């Protein structure tokens, strides 16, 4: 058990922080799941944090100079490197505290990247930071494609999905590869805390962010984030999809604390994946055969996770 969790007080509907550290007025699309997740994460972290952000939608929509939505210190350097920037900040604060040049008080450090920044271009940078053991939290806001550049596929884009670089056609069904297991890669670094979250389960999300911040050393949270613009889904249905993705076992919620898997939400009566896939234009072209394949693989992946949770 992680000793820092002893002082952990769970967020409940009654004790939600009122303060908005990601101020309204930013330029996100209607129904953006990322900005919603980020807002909750910031509420969970509170004011005593420094945020390092990758280039992407969240960076663009929150900081068109001279405006900023950030009520906490925030830095953006480039696309692939928020984990390295966080490493630099953490190292700097460590030595400056030792030398008595800044206050001894602990400050949380959060690095944020989209699925492209995390699973593709920045993976080596994240791996380096995890391996070195910096005390920081990395959040991947996964909307399953490069949305900021116009919906191109990433290695987190789900099987069969239509994007502008994985278009379905006579010779393709769209994305031909299965979603990369980034939380699994994080776990393989033996870091103390890894979790998945969905903005539909906002208390679960906030509690996981708080735990990630409390833990000493690197922590990783992979947050599923609906993107109506990129997915061709109705903005008002974002939270519904964020719920359905869990209920269909497509995106299971779990925690991995010091290598031990725990299912955050066991799905005993799963809904068929079709319920999740319909209503999203990116999956509209899929026929029965593909959906059967997706269902089988979703079931198998979920079973694997359950077995891991039983084993550890």
Partner 1 sequence: MAKRVGIEVSIALAEAVKLANVDVIPAYPITPQTHIVEHLSEVIANGEVDAEFVLVESEHGAMSCCCGSSAAGARTFTSSSAQGLLLMSEILFIPGPMRFPIVMAVVNRALSAPISIWNDHQDIMSQRDIGWIQTFADTGQEAFDLMLHAFRVAEDRRVSLPMIVNIDGFTLSHVVEAVELLSQEEVDQYLPPFKPRYRLDPKKPITMGPVGIPEIYSEAKVAHNEALKASKKVILQGWKEFADLFGRQYNPIETYRSEDAEILLVTMGSISETAMTAIDTMRDKGQKAGLIKIRLWRPFPGPEFRKAAGKAKILAVVDRCLAPGAICGPVGAELRSLFYKVPGAPKIFNFIAGLGGRDVTVERFEEMIDKATAFAKKRPKELYEVIGVREK
Q: Which residues bind partner 1 (CB under 8 A)?
A: 47-50, 52, 59-60, 63-66, 68, 70-78, 80-81, 84-96, 98-99, 101-102, 107, 124-125, 127-128, 131-132
Nearer to partner 1, 7 or 99 (CB): 99
Nearer to partner 1, 123 or 263 (CB): 123
Question: Minimum Å distance from CB 135 to partner 1?
Answer: 12
Nearer to partner 1, 110 or 162 (CB): 110
| Secondary structure E strands in 115-244 | 137-142, 193-197, 219-224
Instruction: Tell me the CA distances in angstroms from 168 to 146, 180, 285, one per residue in order.
Output: 17, 20, 7
Q: CA-CA distance, 73 to 20, in Å (whole number)?
A: 14
Question: Minimum Å distance from CB 39 to partner 1?
Answer: 16
Burial class of residue 288 in the structure, from the number of CB atoms within 10 Å of its CB (0-12 exposed, 13-18 middle, 19+ buried): exposed
Cβ 197 vs Cβ 223: under 8 Å: yes
Among 144, 199, 156, 153, residue whose Cα is nearest residue 31: 199
Nearer to partner 1, 41 or 294 (CB): 41
Question: Minimum Å distance from CB 47 to partner 1?
Answer: 6
Q: CA-CA distance, 32 to 165, in Å (whole number)?
A: 22
Nearer to partner 1, 36 or 45 (CB): 45
Cβ 140 vs Cβ 221: under 8 Å: yes
Question: Minimum Å distance from CB 233 to partner 1?
Answer: 26
Question: Minimum Å distance from CB 85 to partner 1?
Answer: 4
Question: Minimum Å distance from CB 43 to partner 1?
Answer: 15
Cβ 141 vs Cβ 34: under 8 Å: yes
Q: CA-CA distance, 131 to 113, in Å (whole number)?
A: 18
Q: What are phi and psi of 209, to 5 degrees?
A: -65, -40
Nearer to partner 1, 136 or 159 (CB): 136
Question: Minimum Å distance from CB 260 to partner 1?
Answer: 27
Nearer to partner 1, 127 or 181 (CB): 127
Question: Minimum Å distance from CB 102 to partner 1?
Answer: 7
Nearer to partner 1, 127 or 155 (CB): 127
Among 282, 265, 283, 266, residue whose Cα is nearest residue 274: 283
Q: CA-CA distance, 240 to 141, in Å (whole number)?
A: 17
DSSP secondary structure code for residue 140 in this structure = E
Q: CA-CA distance, 49 to 51, in Å (whole number)?
A: 6
Nearer to partner 1, 129 or 250 (CB): 129
Cβ 35 vs Cβ 28: under 8 Å: yes
Question: Minimum Å distance from CB 312 to partner 1?
Answer: 28
């Amino acid at each position: 058990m992680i000793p820092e969790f002893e002082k952990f007080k769970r967020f409940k509907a009654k004790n939600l922080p009122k303060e908005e550290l990601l101020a309204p007025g930013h330029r996100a699309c209607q129904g953006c799941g990322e900005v919603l997740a980020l807002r909750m994460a910031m509420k969970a972290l509170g004011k005593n944090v420094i945020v390092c952000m990758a280039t992407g939608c969240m960076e663009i929509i929150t900081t068109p100079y001279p405006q900023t939505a950030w009520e906490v210190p925030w830095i953006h350097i480039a696309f692939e490197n928020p984990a390295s920037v966080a490493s630099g900040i953490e190292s700097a604060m460590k030595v400056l505290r030792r030398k008595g040049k800044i206050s001894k008080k602990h400050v949380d450090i959060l690095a944020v990247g989209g699925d492209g920044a995390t699973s593709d271009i920045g993976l080596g940078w994240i791996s380096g930071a995890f391996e070195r053991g910096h005390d920081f939290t990395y959040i991947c806001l996964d909307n399953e494609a490069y949305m900021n550049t116009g919906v191109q596929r990433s290695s987190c884009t789900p099987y069969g999905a239509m994007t502008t670089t994985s278009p379905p056609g006579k010779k393709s069904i769209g994305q031909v590869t299965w979603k990369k297991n980034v939380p699994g890669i994080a776990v393989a670094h033996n870091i103390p805390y890894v979790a998945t979250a969905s903005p539909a389960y906002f208390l679960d999300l906030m509690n996981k962010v708080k735990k990630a911040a409390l833990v000493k050393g690197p922590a990783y949270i992979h947050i599923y984030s609906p993107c109506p613009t990129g997915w061709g889904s109705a903005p008002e249905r974002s939270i519904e999809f964020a719920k359905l993705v869990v209920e269909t076992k497509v995106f299971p919620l779990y925690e991995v604390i010091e290598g031990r898997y725990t299912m955050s939400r066991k799905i005993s009566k799963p809904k068929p994946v079709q319920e999740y896939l319909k209503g999203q234009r990116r999956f509209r072209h899929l026929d029965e055969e593909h959906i059967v394949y997706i269902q089988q693989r979703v079931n198998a992946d979920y079973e694997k996770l359950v077995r891991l949770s039983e084993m550890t």
